[in-house]
Structure 1
Amino acid sequence: MTAPLPSPADHGGPGDPVLRVRDLVKHFPVMSRGVIRRRVGDVHAVCGVSFDLYPNETLGLVGESGSGKTTVSRTLLNLETATSGSVHYQGRLLTDLTRRQMRPLRRELQIVFQDPYASLDPRISVHEIVAEPLRIHGRYGPGSPDEVRELLRLVGLNPEHGNRFAHEFSGGQRQRIGIARALALRPKVVVLDEPVSALDVSIQAGVLNLLMDLQSELGLSFLFVAHDLSVMRHVAHRVAVMYLGRLVEIAPARQLFARPAHPYTQALVSAIPLPDPRKERARKRITVQGDVPSPVHPPSGCRFRTRCPKFAGQLTDSERTACVERVPDLVDRGGGNPVACHYAESVQLL
């Protein structure tokens, strides 16, 4: 069942969604070993994910490693072919487009990767790295060198250093180069795949502030993929929480951090450190036990039940049976935001 999703009023962004994702599914085949290989199963990476991204909005997509966040971001840009479901960009269906048909839309849909060094060509200068999208799309002209210098200036780099190579820059500077390259074609949507996770904490703040300034100045929409909720708390208008390929909660950031409703979200929020030592010692902690189950053989019913503290100690036998047998729909259960839990209950943690 597709959830009723938050409206533009939840983040202040006017108009229709710029990106609409509905029931997105991505499975990867598991092949047997040996000379004759055959398909023996599937990795259930993404299962029925639905959300909207509005103009000038930052939607945070969070979860543990292996939850399917990066697969979602790559599939909605058609870098991975969806198993089923749909992605619409400004009303146009993307999931059925070929690479050639997608190429004109690449100008408006860009991505910044997690590892800035791995995503930059070490053989060409920074100027050529930033200019490369312009050349590929036939938009490099007499005024393009000045445009590239302006892009470097826009992301806080010295335009005179355009003749240097990527290895001559620090990690934070390399990520700024990646951002400049993503902005070269003046996109409307930018997917940020863990853009600060590889950076020192002192460098993260500068890159995050840069991204927020660029969003305000250029009118960008961000899908911000991360596992660090303390980062998401400062940059996202809304937050979507993933667990083992499914969305378990979507809410405006302020509401989600103040009163999370899903047990998994509560565990993530309760792990965010507080700067006040007294509050940190007195706060309520919600912990989960065990490891994330295999996406090849996910649990029946609620996928979080094998680690859910509520399932372990607060539910009756009949309620546990419902968790085992029925997949919880992502719907509003009275708290004002969609939650995929049969027994969701908002809890004040921060």
Structure 2
Amino acid sequence: MPELAPVPLADLTTLRTGGAPHRLVEATTTDELVGTLRAVWDDGDPWLLVGGGSNLFVGDEPFAGTVVLVRTRGIERLPGSRPGTARLRVQSGHDWDELVAYTVAEGLAGIEALSGIPGTVGAAPVQNIGAYGQEIVQTLVEVELLDEHTGEVSVVPASELGLGFRTSVLKHHYGSVPARSAAILSVTFELEEVGDRARPIAGEQLRTALRLAPDAAVSLSHVREHVLAIRRSKGMVLDPGDPDTTSAGSFFQNAIVSEAFARTLPAECPRWPVSPDLDTVLVIPLAEFDGVVPAPVGTPAEVKISAAWLIEHSGLGKGFRLPRSRAGLSSKHTLALTNRGGATAAELAELARFVQQRVQSEFGLLLQPEPVLVNVEL
């Protein structure tokens, strides 16, 4: 359980904000991670896990607690649940894009469209990361959790994580606490064994992004290569030479709204239907069954709206800055708030609030932040 000299969280996060913690610990093995967290929880200190630091927006004041750097690594290949599949159990500190590169090289399909997303594997289920129609929920089997309240390690199936659009029971949403306070130790995925053969792309969002015809067939490596190129063009792949990547990626979530509300927005605003959760199993106790099966209850249709489009069409273009501020929108993608060099968390928060106000004033919709906010408010 190596204890390190505290450094500012600005040095450990991609948005480059945050004061130094009271204590900084590095865990390179699962035993170290478990032992450290149990000790911190027993002491009752505030705590924060940091992997890649790519989904954190941290305030300027010192963090009055313990920061644990998760540096566990490793991929274990296991048999899948059916022929033609394989499972991968991955340590939480493993670099996410390194995992995607591994799956593509091994001919395992299911997360190739998530290429280039920064961060570590343990963070992926927390907000159900996704891109171009692929989401973690589609391939996640289970996670190994260390529960804060019990101090026990357990294996939790994906079905119990409350996975939704960029959310789970583990996520610290702005203005609330997680439904379940725990640390992910490992993550298990089930992927399809397809090798290096070309195959059709089922998802419309991915086909559109890659400019593929509905019947076009491409390899996993083709998908990865082109997704990385798209993300680089938007400043969404970390690059020390590109100031647009000094960000937390997409700062605001694409909004999920009712179909009725979506009709109030301009017709040219990009939108995608959201598949409803369908409960296909209805259980009626035999003693209560009267021969009549109740009609299914309909749920209002929902639509995903492009937050980037809303921002641009509220009058805030790429590269926008407030006067004298060192924070600005990315010059490549309006959904990213960037630190243009020495910006404080206060400056970035001021810009985020301004963006929210402009979009709400123009379209009646309050955009929600995607990163986890620590010691900072919008």
TM range (shorter): under 0.3
**TM-score, normalised by the number of residues in structure 2:** 0.25
Higher relative contact order (CA 8 A, sep 6+): 1
**TM-score, normalised by the number of residues in structure 1:** 0.26
